[in-house]
Structures are given as structure tokens and as C-alpha cells.
Amino acid sequence: MKSDIIIIGAGPAGLGLARALADTGLCITLIEKQKADILADPPLDGRDIALTHDSLRIMKEMGMLKSIPKNEIAPICQAQVFSGDSSYFLGFDTKGTGKDALGFLVPNNAIRKAAWDVVQPFANISIRTEAEVKQVSTTATGGTVVLTTGERLAAPLIVAADSRFSSTRKQMGIPASLTDFGRVAIVCRMTHSKPHDSVAKECFFDAWTLAILPLLGKKSSIVITLPADEADAVMQMPLEAFNGRIERNLGAALGKMRLTGERYAYPLVAVYATRFAAQRFVLIGDAAVGMHPVTAHGYNLGLGGADRLAQEIRKAISLGLDIGDSTVLDSYARAHRRASAFLYHGTNILVKLFTDHRRGALALRNLALRVGNHLPPFRKYVTRQLTGKAA
């Protein structure tokens, strides 16, 4: 079977790219391991995604925002970073941005459902679910994907959006640098007796970090990152003990805390591909850049990248260029590298600094918070990443 583009992986980046190109009339085939009913109605996975204003704009253009219930979108008006039990914090707010919120929290499963919903009306987008890729190969004139069933699919351009552990990236010989933090993120939702005032908090203790992300009402999304060997104990911790532990860590700032629903554990691994493009093959989403979640840029970068590639492909169509041409893929790769390199490496340095137990590191991060607070360009950079350039 022949298409114009084969996208491997029907996650948010893959579906986002397909939707962004839907009206070009290109024949797009997505290949996805999971079942259609799971993609159409993804279960809760405990993750809440912090969306920047840019992401929100792209989602609106794609029609995704319509399919996310209003009561699932919560604004973040301020962000505060704490070191240890100290009450001193590095703060970010919307002052001078002309926006009401730094960003918005939306449950991951609602985003996934919306991404699935918006591609359904398009006859030129077909999704092969429960399909697994056995082999990918490309030549100067085209690409071929062989499924485990032996079926062969062909297209002039193949896009990998198959997670940070992308097997097709490996098959195409693109190396990636991988950082295993040896840590696990445990995510859950909690209700609390005091209001959060739409303030997101990131607290760095010696071995733990704790992020409080404000949902609507007296409810927050909690992200605990901790050494992998301590994760099981926290996952199994009895309810009362768990509630008490989080309450104490927050110095009772939110009053009485209560876990609602499940706890979910995710190992923390960050990945950066050394190249984003090869012959008739291009990486998007986590397959290109898999971020550590602490700066909340993974999803935003993935969506921005899909949008960027879609723009390059549209430009190629308007010039009559072959969409798999290396000039097309290289311009995307250069732009996406510019958009991601500093954020990726900056985030990893930050994570190292803030999870280092040594005394020197503690002093350094306390200093970093103070310096950060008094460094307008730094604060402006962070705020702009969230609220967009229109500010």
C-alpha cells in the first residue's frame, strides 16, 4: 500500500502532525501498537500536562480544544521554586506578559482523546491500530515499512513518533544520548482543605522533589520524584501515612491532604537524538527529544515540533518540492534543534543541581534561587517559554 506520509506512533505528536496536515489532501497512514478503543477513550494515567500559550494556540487551530471539557482546564497563575524546607522561593508570575495565566493544566488522557477525535473526520488519514513495525528502510527515492504481519507499506516520507525508546530511530542508525536519572516519578491527585490560589510549587528536598500543580477547586496534581529504590515503598505506603507525608513536606501550606484515585509510577529517562532527520526519515515528539518532566516542556516541545514539521511540509508542497527531500527535513531539524537544545540541556543541568545531596550543591542551589530572582533576563526567558512571544 502506498501513502504520502507514514507516521509511526499515534500518540499526541503523531496525531498532531496528521491533523496539522489534514487539509493538504496528503494521504497519511499512522501505525500504532495499541487498540483503537484505548486510543479513542484513554484511561486516566495520573499525568496532568502543563500547556503553554503556544500549545494552546496550536491545539485551538487543530480543533483539539473544543473536545476538552472546560472543567478539565486549570490555569497556573504563579510558579514558585523552593529549596528544602526554606521558605525562600524563586517566583514567576504573569506580570508584564499581558496574560492571565503562565500556562494551563490539562489531564493527559483528555489531550490524547482530543488528538484522536480531531483526526477522525478526515478520509485521507488512516490509522492502523494493533499494528507493529518490524522494519523500516529508506532509499533515495522512497521509504518502506514492513509490519510484523509481513505487510509492506511505502511512502516518500516516514515519520517516527514512537516514544523516547523509538525502535525505528535505532533501526535507521540515528544515535541518541540517553540520561537515566535512576529516579522515578510518582504522580497522583490529591484534595486539600486550603485553596492553592492557582500557584504551582516545585519543592526540592534532598532526595525527593515534590511538585504541586493546581487543578480546579481544592485539588492538585502531585508529582513526587525520588530515587528508584524508594519508589516501591511510596507506591505501597498506606493511605494515611502517604497523606501525612505529603502534608508534612508542604509544611501544611495546603492544609489537610487526601489522596484521590491511584498512584502511578514512571521511570525518569531523558533522551536527545543526535540527528532529527535521515534520508526520507524524520523524528518528532519524544523520539526526537524526550524531556525530564520537571520543567513541564515535553508535551509542548512535541506539539511545537509536529507543528514545525507540518509548516515545512506545507511550504514544500507550495513549492512543488518532494516532501521527503532533505532540504525540507533539514530545515525542520535545524529549527527544532534551536527550539529544544537549550531547554533540554538546561533542564538536565537543573535536575542534577537540584537532586545532588552534597553540601556544595545545596549551597549552590540556594544561591541559584536568589540569583534567579534578581536576574530579570532569566525570569523573562522562563516566562516567555510559557506565555509565548506575543507577550
Partner 1 sequence: MSSIDPVEIARFSSHAAEWWDPNGALRPLHRLNPVRIAYARDHVCAHFKRPSGAKDALKGLSWLDVGCGGGLLCEPLARLGASVTGLDASAEAIEAARAHAQNMDLTIDYRCGAVEEMEDETYDVISALEILEHVTDPAAFLHSVAQRLKPNGILLLSTLNRSAKGFLLGIVAAEYILRWVPRGTHDWRKFIRPSELQAMLKEAGLEMQDLTGMRLDPLNGAFCLTQNIGVNYLSTACRTSF
Smallest separation, CB 210 to partner 1 (Å): 41
**CB of residue 313 vs partner 1: minimum separation in angstroms?**
12
User: Does residue 326 belong to the site contacting partner 1 (CB under 8 A)?
Assistant: yes
- Shortest gap between Cβ of 348 and partner 1 (angstroms)? 25
Quote the CA–CA distance of 306 and 290 in Å, as a whole number.
Answer: 14
Q: Does residue 146 contact residue 152 with C-beta atoms inside 8 Å?
A: yes
Binding pattern to partner 1, positions 9-28, x when CB under 8 A?
A: ---------------xx---
Q: Which stretch binds partner 1 (CB under 8 A): 53-61, 92-100, 328-336, 344-352?
A: 328-336
160 forms bridges with which residues in the sheet?
8, 283
Minimum distance between the CB of residue 335 and partner 1, rounded to whole angstroms? 8
Among 179, 325, 346, 372, binds partner 1 (CB under 8 A): 325
Q: What is the CB neighbour count within 10 angstroms for residue 134?
A: 14
| Closer CB to partner 1, 322 or 356, in the complex | 322
Residues 6 or more apart whose CB falls under 8 angstroms from that of 210 comprise 201, 202, 203, 222, 223, 224, 246, 249, 250
- What's the full length of the chain, in residues? 391
Among 334, 345, 370, 374, binds partner 1 (CB under 8 A): 334
Closest contact distance (angstroms) between CB of 334 and partner 1 is 5
The C-alpha atoms of residue 329 and residue 277 are separated, in whole angstroms, by: 6
Binding mask 236-275 toward partner 1 (x if CB under 8 A, else -) reads ----------------------------------------
Q: CB 173 → partner 1: shortest distance, Å?
A: 15
Pick one of 86, 120, 135, 141: the residue that binds partner 1 (CB under 8 A): 141
Q: Are 272 and 344 in contact (CB under 8 A)?
A: yes
* Contact flag: residue 173 with partner 1 (CB under 8 A): no
Nearer to partner 1, 269 or 321 (CB): 321
Region from 127-135, 259-267, 313-321, 340-348 binding partner 1, contact rule CB under 8 A: 313-321
Q: Where are the beta strands (DSSP E) in 100-218?
A: 103-107, 125-128, 133-138, 143-147, 152-155, 157-160, 176-192, 199-204, 209-214
Q: Which residue lies nearer to partner 1 by CB, 26 or 288?
A: 26
- For residue 330, the minimal CB distance to partner 1 (Å) is 8
Question: Is position 335 an interface residue for partner 1 (rule: CB under 8 A)?
Answer: yes
How far apart CA 307 and CA 19 sit, in angstroms, is 10
- Give the number of C-alpha atoms closer than 13 A to the C-alpha of residue 146, restricted to the C-beta side: 8
Nearest to 169 by CA among 154, 155, 159, 178: 159
**End-to-end Cα separation, the chain, in angstroms:** 47
**Does the protein bind partner 1 through residue 147 (CB under 8 A)?**
no
Note whether 154 binds partner 1 by CB under 8 A: no
Contacts of 265 (CB under 8 A, 6+ apart): 184, 185, 186, 231, 235
